[in-house]
Amino acid sequence: FKQTSIGTSSLIFTADDLNIYYSPEKIAAGSINEDDFFSALSLTYLGGENYQVRLGYGETVVRPDLREVVPVSYFDPLTDIRTFGRVGLQSSPIKNYDLRYEYYGNTGDSFSVAAFYKDIDKPIETVLRIGDEDYSASFVNGKTAQVYGIETEWLKDLTFLTEGLFTSGNITLSDSEADIDPALASNLTNPTKRMTGHSKYVVNLQLNYDSVDGQHSSSLVYNVFGERILAAGIAGRDDAYEQPFHSLDLIYTWYPDFNSNVKFKVTNLLDEEQQVTQSDIVVRSKEVGMTFDVSYSYTF
């Protein structure tokens, strides 16, 4: 993997300026050049016709995004926070362990439950910046981090209620811990904390309907995530937490013929707002609103 990002300026007029901006030291500081080997092993026990148990180990890596390593500011499209990249951000190797039980019913029903553990080296963490009135953020590499928990998912036929009705979903309960060197984050308030962006619970539920004649389908989709750290606080400021967002969407699709479909979608039926808090005070709020979308597609 090779990636290089170099800052530039419209004020480069001389060879001396050019040597400053494109010095070997700056090029080396803004470059990632890695040759990696990732191992994986999976064992499966077939206990019968309806279930199996899987044990797995695998190594992966998270590379810093290009925006995270360039020394310029941008507004994060997900958080709407002004964010600055940091030169020299490193990749995060991950060791993954999981144990999973899977059941498959005769009518298409399925159920699984899994325990997982992730050991992360040099995790990429988002931290707040000192003295910024516009609430900006940047990135640092932590020392280590761990994520562990259990998750379950299912698909269940509900034809005993009505033909074509079924439910599906997944639930994850987990925890994490990241250890960050305060020297890298200008007096980090909580050097040991939960990982940025990690929720202790995530719930996704669906109630689905497919008509027997294949002309209609609909889904009522609910999902919510637990409180999660948006950015780590520094200089005595508490961590910034994104509050749970309860999302409820309705999707209906009509298939008038084999080649076309009409889709109607309503999102955020609960009319929830996105909120960020620090020390139990709302510091950022965004009105999401409900959206209505109608689309028609035709396949030639």
pLDDT of 155 reads: 95
Q: What is the DSSP string of the chain?
A: -EEE-----TT--SHHHHHHHT-HHHHHHTEEE------EEEEEEE-SSSEEEEEEEEEEEEPPPHHHHSSSEEE-TTT--EEE--TT---EEEEEEEEEEEEE-TTS-EEEEEEEEEEEES-EEEEE-TT-TT--EEEEE-SEEEEEEEEEEEEEE-TTTSTTEEEEEEEEEEEEEEE--GGGTTSBS-SEEPPTT-BSEEEEEEEEEE-TTSSEEEEEEEEEE--EEEEB-BTTPPPEEEPP--EEEEEEEEEEETTEEEEEEEE-TT--EEEEEETTEEEEEEE---EEEEEEEE--
Q: For 86-137, write each residue's pLDDT tens digit.
A: 888 889 999 999 999 999 988 789 999 999 999 999 999 888 876 655 668 8
pLDDT of 133 reads: 59
Range 151-158 contact pairs with CB under 8 angstroms and sequence separation of 24 or more: 151/113, 151/114, 151/116, 152/111, 152/112, 152/113, 152/114, 153/110, 153/111, 153/112, 154/109, 154/110, 154/111, 154/112, 155/108, 155/109, 155/110, 155/111, 156/109, 156/111, 157/107, 157/108, 157/109
**CA neighbor of 258 nearest in space, from 206, 210, 300:** 300
pLDDT of 131 reads: 62
20-34, 37-51, 183-197, range with greatest mean pLDDT: 37-51
pLDDT of 185 reads: 64
87-91, 147-151, 161-165, range with greatest mean pLDDT: 147-151
Rounded mean pLDDT, 212-226: 93
Strand ranges of the sheet holding 240-242, from the earlier edge strand across to the other edge: 228-231, 240-242, 273-278, 281-287
Name the more confident of 82 and 155: 155
Residue entry with tokens 């797995």? 56
pLDDT of 244 reads: 94
Q: For 57-92, write each residue's pLDDT tens digit.
A: 999 999 988 888 887 888 877 667 888 888 888 899
Name the more confident of 122 and 18: 122
Phi and psi at residue 18, to the nearest 5°: -60, -40
17-26, 250-259, 268-277, range with the lowest pLDDT: 17-26
**CA neighbor of 291 nearest in space, from 271, 263, 275, 261:** 271
Name the more confident of 106 and 146: 146
Summary mean pLDDT of the chain: 89
- What pTM value is reported for the model? 0.82
pLDDT of 130 reads: 67
CB 76 within 8 A of CB 83: yes
Cβ-proximal residues to 135 (8 Å cutoff; 6+ apart), any chain: 81, 82, 128, 283, 284
* Domains assigned to the chain: 1-34 (no CATH), 36-298 (2.40.170.20)
pLDDT of 223 reads: 96
Angle CA(272)–CA(274)–CA(278) in degrees, nearest 5?
135
Rounded mean pLDDT, 253-275: 92
pLDDT of 221 reads: 96
Proportion of the chain above pLDDT 90, given as a percent: 49
pLDDT of 74 reads: 83
pLDDT of 218 reads: 95
